[in-house]
């Protein structure tokens, strides 16, 4: 973020955060601040125009915008160290604001400087397209313009709504890290025409849309039309509403991008750009009407329009004057443009002129001084090229502009290029989080930037003395880069490339080789002859791009001594920030490794502790072991307090190796002997071979391959030296070979081959006799058949099959001498068809026998249960008990109790013979019977019925009183206060009492949280739940039920229980609308309420439930 415009001094304290501490000058060397010295020129210091490669400078200035992109980067992303970022922008406002550009060295998206930058870039392409085309940069500038405009379209979702900023700068500046690992929720700020409309921002955005529409008109007229529609909407909205400054609509921007100059300049600016884009007179008429209101040079309104300032993101006065003069030739505009030319590039006005440094910088302000001189250079070029002034002034303007650009590129007393990556003596430590690549949330660590931010223009000298001083990336007033800094410079370079030429660099940008990103350091804690204890630290210093490592693990390799088994190794920890050490796991041969898993730790380069995990582990051996010869000990520091990088400890992210070198490749086993074939049949053969000699690791198995056209096929694996190959085709020639595979998965060379020809197909057995059915039950049948006659091979057995739609099912198998089978698991009263097959001892089957049709018997139901016996009779419930049924053909599943012919309830299983029926009406006679049902769904007959008459309900001696404890009926909680009064002559046990408060849920979650905030009987003796009505009614679809435990005791006659303060809410905390709830009242003192129902032993004794 940049300093304010010319009208007010800078007011900035927001940079003083934990990552931007003031550093004493004495500490410069300690953190690597580098002084700029005039004795080290970037190149032969140019003293004349044309000595710089302006095409290269333009190429790099455009590339800077690629480096500033946010969102989901395209496949042709040109910045290898950038990745996706901020993929949820706008979600808090139900908008898709993914994309756009980071404003500066931070990551906020600020619309005011963005639209300024896009307009100036488009202006440069409109006026000086030859500079881009001759430098081969047109496609890249257009790509960046479209990237910005695509975002701006999303930021303008409606005619009267415009996004002013994404992200709270105060939050953004708390972390000094790459954009890709910033994960905090970013706030969206907007302005709306119905509440507050910032005319300055709206008309600046209109100018951006209109100018970009001109750029894309020839290559993509549809897109250009869309842009122009947005421009018209914004301009028209400004014309139709009360105008305000946008920073009054979005106060969060104050102190960052204040609208110091107000909106008078933008009213002219936006109107002129719409006029230029459309040629429509209405826009020029408004621009002329607003022109006289442009800021003046002095406080007196009669003074000329301000000529002592440049073009920047806030103040477009000078640019509006020059554009008006260029487009219209209006006399007043030309006079005002002449004043600007004289003050900034000529002899001065009234004895005053722009402040110039000794080296030639036009100095307008201390914060980011070079973005001001770059902006002045561009509009000076535009004015000179417009032809609206005389030749002398045009030349003065031209030379002034050239001088400012050359000063930036290195023609200055320090011979330093203020464009990062241009020349040989350029600024190398810009204030830019992602380019710096810190992993520790520290602008001073590392000392040098890990990336070159090509093309970025830094702020430059903070006084008119040409003195940049020592490089210090935290000195943001001089070291920061920004979208608007580069805008004027980029368009000026297009103009200079057009005039002076140059050649863009081939192979740009150069490939950056990632430095150390994910790695391990280790040192020796302690050791003796039987153990070694290692201190290890795994780091995430990623910056290519910065990224989290969600599933890191690392391996320490050691050699298992002869005679030692893995189970004898003992692994322990001395300190662990990740999982305990696991293993050992065989790598190859006698080499094993210990794994330290940090899966789920999600290491990120966002702080010292967040970017690393420390683990101290010990490997204990059963006998003496020389740990110094272990693979991973090589390079381990023997000074416990000074761990060093160890490449023989490997790091994995998931299954991907990201650091280190594992032990060398294994020596494969020797080839096995040539296989020998035996037991050859028409469909199989047995192969036998001699053993392989082991390589680095023992042989674990052998794989048998069949030679085949198009690629050999593995047909079998064996741990021994023989296997049977099956599934072959009769009378067919085959070729086989064998490979040995060791415990590490390394395969040997192939053995010699063996040729095998299978035998002719065998004669199958004859079909068995037709099965005869007997012992037919509801669920089974016995089938008997006559024997088959053997074919080429002896009969091995018989199979019984059941025909079925979709494929017949084998239901039984027997031996060769068993000619009968019991088929079970059938369904009662069902028709089936069965047949039999004979199978020889090689698996060859006969044809099917003649089929037999069978219909199973009807199911035998359970016996009738005993007559129910009633007990525990109350006014609303009764317990029934009966004697058990005896199962029929299927096990009992449950009992069903019927009230007449209506199901009143059922048991959970077939062993329970009691059930309580509730919900009965007092003083009513009922008839109950019971039946048993088995797992096949077959039911017994109903038992004899028992008649039950419920007693009279207790007298209505209780009443409920209610008061409203919630003053906000549309918030997310309901707070009914309830008390009970006993108006009878005897005490009532509270454990028999329930209270219902009826309400509607509207929408939202269907689960609830309930609280008892206070109760005289003690909240521990209160239970609460929310119950849904089976049939919602007006005013109620649920009720809060309040009940009491036995600990609540009794309510004495003539007494009340005191207030119960209830509170409940939906689990998603969505709002209620209580005023239409059945039980709701507005009284804040207790009063009788018949809309709160009271039940005793399940019987209603007070109130009227909703109907």
1094, 1103 contact by CB (below 8 A): yes
CB atoms within 10 A of CB 641: 7
**Closest by alpha carbon to 169, among 191, 151, 181, 186?**
186
- Residues 779 and 749 placed together within one structural domain of the fold: no
Q: Which of 480, 742, 840, 1077 is catalytic?
A: 480
Q: Write out the two tokens for 1000.
A: 């509607």
Element (H, E) at 227: helix 221-240
The answer to whether the beta carbons of residues 1058 and 1017 sit under 8 Å apart is: yes
13 confidence band (pLDDT: 50, 70, 90): very low
Give the pLDDT mean for 1097-1106. 91
Compute CA distances 875 → 574, 882, 951, 953, 1099, whole Å: 69, 22, 5, 5, 7
Residue 548 lies in a domain: yes
How many whole angstroms separate alpha carbon 522 and alpha carbon 87? Answer: 37
Q: Which of 54, 257, 705, 835 is catalytic?
A: 257
Residue 664 confidence class, pLDDT cut points 50, 70, 90: confident
Q: What is the 3-state secondary structure (H, E, C) of 838-887?
A: EEECCCCECCCCCCEEEECCCCCCCCCCCCCEEECCCCCCEEEECCCCCC
- Of 798, 832, 855, the one marking the end of a domain is 855
Q: pLDDT confidence of 384, banded at 50, 70, 90?
A: very high
Regarding whether 1001 and 934 lie in a shared domain, the answer is: no
Average pLDDT score, the chain: 92
CA distance 415 to 812: 97
Q: How far apart are CA 751 and CA 673, in angstroms?
A: 6
Q: Which of 1090, 784, 26, 68 shows the shortest CA–CA distance to 470?
A: 26
For 909, other C-beta atoms within 10 Å of its C-beta total 10
Among candidates 161, 117, 125, which has minimal Cα distance to 142? 125
Q: Looking at the structure, do residues 962 and 1085 belong to the same domain, yes or no?
A: yes
- CB-CB neighbours of 741 under 10 Å: 19
847 and 780 in a single domain? The answer is: yes
806 pLDDT tier (thresholds 50, 70, 90): very high
Boundary of a domain, candidates 827, 855, 883? 855
The answer to whether residue 355 sits within a structural domain is no
Residues 749 and 776 in one domain: no
Q: What is the pLDDT of residue 20?
A: 33
Can you give the pTM of this predicted structure?
A: 0.61
Same structural domain for residues 1078 and 981? yes
Rounded distance, CA 517 to CA 545, Å?
Answer: 10
What does the alpha-carbon distance between residue 388 and residue 19 come to, in Å, rounded to a whole number?
50
Distance CA 318, CA 296 (A): 11
| Three-state SS letters, 9-53 | CCCCCCCCCCCCCCCCHHHCCCCCCCECCCCCCCCCCCCCCCCCC
Confidence of residue 40 (pLDDT cuts 50, 70, 90): very low
Confirm whether 561 is a catalytic residue.
no
Would the pLDDT of 719 be above 50?
A: yes
pLDDT of residue 255: 84
At residue 697, the pLDDT reads 62
Active-site residue identified among 56, 106, 361, 533: 106
DSSP conformational letter for 638: S
Give Cβ neighbours of residue 66 (< 8 Å, ≥ 6 apart).
77, 78, 79, 82, 140, 143, 144
Active site residue 702: no
Please state, in angstroms and rounded to a whole number, the distance separating the CA atoms of residues 505 and 498: 17
Tokens standing for residue 992: 């028999």
Q: Are residues 833 and 881 in the same domain?
A: no
C-alpha triplet 472, 478, 483: angle, nearest 5°: 115
Is pLDDT above 70 for 1062?
Answer: yes
Which pLDDT belongs to residue 696? 60
Number of separate domains in the chain: 5
Instruction: Write phi, then psi, for 24 (nearest 5 degrees).
Output: -65, 150
Burial profile 830-860: b = 16 or more Cβ within 10 angstroms, e = fewer:
eebebbbbbbbebebebebbebbebebbebb
Query: Do you find a cis peptide bond into 336, omega within 30 degrees of 0?
Result: no
pLDDT of residue 49: 55
Q: What percent of the chain has pLDDT over 70?
A: 94
Look at residue 960 and give its three-state secondary structure.
strand
**473: Cβ contacts below 8 Å, ≥ 6 apart:** 429, 430, 431, 432, 436, 443, 444, 449, 479
Token reading at 1089: 């309420």
What is the pLDDT averaged over residues 446-462? 97
Residues 66, 103, 312, 472: which is the catalytic one? 103
What secondary structure letter does DSSP report for 505?
P
Phi, psi values for residue 327, rounded to 5°: -80, -30
Q: What torsion, rounded to 10 degrees, do the Cα atoms 247, 253, 257, 263 define? A: -10
The C-alpha angle with vertex 689 and arms to 684 and 690, in degrees rounded to 5, equals: 165
When comparing pLDDT for 699 and 1103, which is higher?
Answer: 1103
Per-residue burial over 578-590, b = 16 or more CB atoms within 10 Å of its CB, e = otherwise: bbebebbebbbbe
pLDDT (mean) for 92-104: 97
The pLDDT confidence band at residue 838, using thresholds 50, 70 and 90, is: very high
Examine residue 509 and say whether the peptide bond preceding it is cis (omega within 30 degrees of 0): yes
- Residues 928, 1001, single domain; the answer is no
Q: Using the 3D structure, point to which of 855, 881, 901 is the last residue of a domain.
A: 855
**Residue 303 and residue 111: Cα distance in Å, rounded?**
32
Tell me: do 936 and 1010 sit in the same domain.
no
**Quick one: how far is CA 78 from the chain centroid?**
24
Residue 904: its pLDDT value, please? 94
Closest CA to 1009 of 1062, 951, 936: 1062
Task: List, in order, residues 6 or more apart from 285 with CB less than 8 Å away.
Answer: none
According to the model, what pLDDT value does residue 440 have? Answer: 95
Any domain includes 710: yes
Residue-by-residue DSSP string for 507-553? TPSPPPPP-S-EEEEEEEEEEETTEEEEEEEEEE---TT---BSSEE
Question: Do 720 and 782 have their domain in common?
Answer: no
For the segment 722-736, what is each residue's pLDDT rounded down to a tens digit? 999 999 999 999 999
Give the pLDDT score at 953: 67
Q: How many CA atoms, within 13 angstroms, populate the side-chain half-sphere of residue 481? A: 33
Both structure tokens of 935: 């797992």
Instruction: For residue range 600-630, list pLDDT tens digits in order.
Output: 888 999 999 999 999 999 999 999 999 999 9
Q: What is the DSSP letter of 1014?
A: E
Same domain membership, residue 874 and residue 832: no
The pLDDT-based confidence of 714 (bands split at 50, 70, 90) is very high
pLDDT tens digit string along 501-525?
A: 999 999 999 999 999 999 999 999 9
Q: Smallest Cα–Cα separation from 123: which of 334, 323, 344?
A: 323
Predicted local confidence at residue 176, as pLDDT: 96
Region for 501 from its dihedrals, namely left if φ exceeds 0, alpha if ψ lies in -120 to 50, beta otherwise: left
252 burial (CB, 10 Å; 0-12 / 13-18 / 19+) is: middle
Report residue 41 as tokens: 């020129």
Is residue 1095 included in any domain, yes or no?
yes
pLDDT-derived band of residue 21, with 50, 70 and 90 as boundaries?
very low
pLDDT-derived band of residue 31, with 50, 70 and 90 as boundaries? very low
State in Å, rounded, how far the first CA of the chain is from the last one. Answer: 64
Do 1094 and 978 belong to one domain? yes
Alpha-carbon distance of 647 to 296, in angstroms, equals 67
Residue 537 belongs to some domain of the structure? yes
Give the pLDDT confidence score for residue 835 in this predicted structure: 98
- Domain of 943, CATH number, reads 2.60.40.10
Judge contact between 987 and 962, C-beta under 8 A.
Answer: no
| Residue 975 falls inside a structural domain | yes
Give the tens place of pLDDT for each residue, 196-239: 999 999 999 999 999 999 999 999 999 999 999 999 999 999 99
Beta strands in 119-228 (DSSP E): 161-166, 188-192
Read off the pLDDT of each residue in 992-1014 and give the average, rounded to a whole number. 95
State mean pLDDT over 251-258. Answer: 90
Q: CA 177, 182, 187, 192: dihedral to nearest 10 degrees?
A: 80
Summarize the confidence of residues 538-563 as an average pLDDT.
Answer: 94
Angle at the Cα of 1003 (from 998 to 1004), degrees rounded to 5?
110
Residue 24 has a pLDDT of: 32
Burial code (b: 16+ CB inside 10 Å, e: under 16) for 1061-1097 equals bbbbbbeeeebbebeebbbbeeeeebeebebbbbbbb
Structural domain range at position 886: 869-949
Residue 284 domain-assigned (yes or no)? no
- Average the pLDDT over 591-601 and give the result: 94
Within-domain flag for 918: yes
Predicted confidence (pLDDT) at residue 490 exceeds the cutoff of 90: yes
Give residue-wise pLDDT tens across range 624-642.
Answer: 999 999 999 999 999 999 9
Measured between alpha carbons, how far is residue 815 from residues 52, 766, 792, 811, 834 in Å?
A: 98, 16, 18, 14, 18
Would you call 703 a catalytic residue per the annotation? no
Q: Are 929 and 899 in contact (CB under 8 A)?
A: no
Contact status, residue 807 vs residue 761, Cβ threshold 8 Å = no
Beta bridge partner(s), residue 933? 894, 939
Res. 45: pLDDT tops 60: no
CA-to-CA dists, residue 1001 to 493, 1070, 1104, angstroms: 65, 10, 20
150 flagged as catalytic: no
């Amino acid at each position: 973020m940049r300093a304010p415009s010319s009208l007010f001094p800078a007011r900035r304290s927001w940079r003083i955060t934990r990552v931007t501490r003031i550093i004493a000058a004495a500490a410069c060397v300690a953190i690597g601040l580098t002084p700029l010295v005039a004795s080290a020129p970037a190149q032969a210091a140019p003293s004349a125009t044309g000595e710089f490669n302006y095409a290269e400078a333009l190429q790099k200035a455009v590339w800077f915008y690629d480096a500033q992109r946010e969102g989901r980067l395209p496949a042709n992303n040109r910045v290898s160290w950038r990745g996706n970022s901020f993929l949820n922008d706008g979600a808090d406002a139900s908008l898709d604001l993914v994309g756009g550009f980071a404003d500066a060295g931070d990551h906020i998206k600020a619309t005011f400087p963005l639209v300024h930058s896009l307009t100036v870039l488009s202006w440069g392409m409109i006026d000086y397209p030859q500079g881009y085309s001759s430098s081969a940069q047109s496609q890249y500038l257009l790509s960046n313009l479209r990237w910005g405009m695509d975002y701006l379209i999303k930021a303008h979702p409606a005619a009267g709504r415009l996004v002013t900023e994404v992200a709270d700068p105060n939050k953004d500046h708390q972390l000094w890290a790459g954009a890709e690992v910033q994960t905090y929720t970013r706030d969206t700020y907007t302005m709306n025409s119905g509440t507050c409309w910032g005319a300055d921002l709206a008309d600046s955005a209109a100018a951006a849309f209109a100018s970009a529409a001109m750029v894309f008109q020839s290559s993509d007229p549809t897109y250009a039309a869309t842009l122009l529609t947005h421009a018209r909407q914004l301009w028209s909205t400004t014309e139709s509403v009360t105008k305000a400054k946008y920073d009054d609509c979005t106060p969060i921007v104050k102190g960052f991008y204040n609208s110091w100059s107000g909106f008078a300049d933008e009213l002219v600016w936006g109107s002129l750009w719409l006029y230029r884009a459309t040629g429509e007179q209405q826009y020029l008429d408004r621009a002329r009407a607003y022109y006289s209101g442009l800021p003046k040079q002095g406080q007196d309104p009669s003074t000329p329009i301000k000529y002592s300032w440049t073009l920047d993101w806030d103040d477009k006065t000078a640019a509006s004057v020059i554009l008006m003069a260029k487009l219209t030739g209006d006399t007043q505009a030309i006079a005002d443009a002449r004043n600007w030319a004289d003050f900034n590039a000529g002899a001065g006005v009234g004895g005053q002129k722009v402040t110039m440094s000794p080296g030639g910088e036009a100095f307008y302000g201390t914060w980011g001084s070079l973005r001001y001189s770059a902006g002045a250079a561009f509009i000076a070029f535009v004015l000179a090229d417009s032809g609206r002034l005389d030749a002398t002034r045009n030349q003065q303007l031209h030379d002034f502009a050239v001088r400012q650009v050359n000063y930036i590129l290195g023609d200055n007393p320090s011979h330093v290029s203020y464009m990062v990556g241009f020349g040989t003596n350029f600024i190398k430590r810009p204030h830019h989080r992602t380019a710096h690549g810190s992993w520790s949330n520290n602008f001073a660590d590392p000392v040098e930037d890990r990336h070159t931010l090509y093309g970025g223009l830094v702020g430059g000298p903070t006084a008119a003395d040409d003195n940049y001083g020592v490089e210090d990336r935290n000195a943001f007033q001089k070291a920061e880069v920004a979208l608007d800094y580069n805008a004027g410079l980029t368009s000026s370079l297009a103009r200079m490339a057009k005039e002076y030429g140059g050649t863009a660099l081939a192979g740009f940008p150069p490939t950056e080789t990632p430095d150390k990103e994910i790695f391990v350091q280790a040192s020796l804690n302690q050791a003796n002859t039987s153990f070694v204890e290692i201190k290890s630290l795994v780091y995430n210093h990623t910056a290519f791009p910065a990224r989290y490592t969600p599933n890191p693990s690392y391996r320490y390799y050691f050699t298992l001594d002869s005679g030692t088994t893995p189970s004898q190794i003992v692994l322990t920890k001395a300190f662990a920030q990740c999982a305990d050490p696991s293993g050992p796991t065989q790598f190859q041969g006698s080499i094993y490794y210990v794994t330290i898993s940090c899966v789920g730790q999600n290491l990120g380069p966002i702080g010292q502790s967040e970017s690393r995990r420390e683990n101290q582990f010990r490997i204990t051996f059963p006998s003496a072991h020389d740990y110094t010869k272990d693979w991973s000990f090589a390079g381990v520091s023997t000074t416990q307090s000074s761990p060093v990088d160890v490449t023989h400890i490997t790091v994995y992210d998931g299954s991907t190796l990201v650091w280190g070198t594992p032990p060398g490749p294994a020596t494969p086993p020797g080839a096995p002997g040539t296989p020998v074939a035996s037991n050859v049949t028409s469909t199989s053969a047995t192969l036998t071979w001699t053993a392989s000699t082991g390589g680095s690791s023992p042989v674990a198995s052998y794989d048998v391959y069949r030679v085949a056209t198009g690629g050999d096929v593995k047909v079998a694996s064996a741990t021994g030296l023989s296997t049977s190959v099956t599934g072959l085709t009769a009378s067919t020639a085959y070729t086989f070979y064998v490979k040995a595979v060791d415990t590490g998965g390394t395969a040997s060379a192939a053995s010699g081959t063996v040729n095998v020809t299978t035998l002719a197909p065998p004669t199958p057995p004859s079909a068995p006799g037709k099965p005869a059915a007997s012992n037919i039950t509801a669920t089974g049948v016995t089938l008997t058949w006559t024997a088959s006659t053997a074919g080429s091979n002896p009969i091995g057995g018989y199979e019984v099959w059941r025909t079925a739609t979709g494929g017949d099912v084998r239901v039984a198998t027997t031996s060769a001498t068993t000619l009968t089978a019991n088929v079970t698991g059938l369904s009662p009263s069902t028709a089936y068809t069965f047949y039999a097959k004979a199978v020889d001892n090689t698996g060859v089957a006969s044809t099917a026998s003649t089929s037999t049709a069978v219909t199973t018997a009807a199911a035998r139901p359970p016996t009738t249960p005993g007559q129910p016996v009633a007990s525990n009779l109350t006014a609303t419930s009764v317990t029934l008990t009966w004697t058990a049924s005896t199962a029929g053909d299927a096990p009992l599943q449950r009992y069903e109790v019927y009230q007449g012919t209506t199901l009143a309830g059922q048991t959970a299983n077939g062993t329970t013979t009691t059930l309580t029926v509730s919900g009965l009406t007092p003083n009513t006679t009922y008839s109950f019977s019971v039946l048993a049902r088995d797992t096949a769904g077959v039911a017994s007959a109903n038992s004899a019925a028992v008649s039950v008459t419920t007693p009279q309900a207790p007298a209505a001696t209780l009443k409920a009183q209610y008061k409203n404890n919630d003053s906000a009926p549309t918030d997310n909680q309901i707070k009914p206060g309830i008390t009970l009064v006993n108006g009878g002559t005897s005490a009532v046990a509270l454990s028999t009492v329930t209270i219902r408060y009826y309400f509607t849920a509207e929408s939202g979650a269907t689960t609830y949280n309930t609280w008892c905030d206070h109760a005289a009987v003690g909240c521990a003796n209160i239970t609460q739940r929310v119950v849904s009505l089976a049939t919602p009614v007006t005013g109620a679809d649920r009720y809060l039920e309040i009940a009491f435990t036995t600990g609540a005791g009794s309510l004495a006659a003539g007494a009340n229980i005191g207030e119960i303060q209830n509170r409940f809410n939906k689990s998603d905390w969505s709002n209620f609308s209580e005023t239409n709830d059945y039980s709701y009242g507005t009284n804040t003192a207790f009063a009788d309420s018949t809309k709160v129902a009271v039940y005793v032993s399940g019987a209603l004794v007070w109130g009227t439930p909703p109907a």
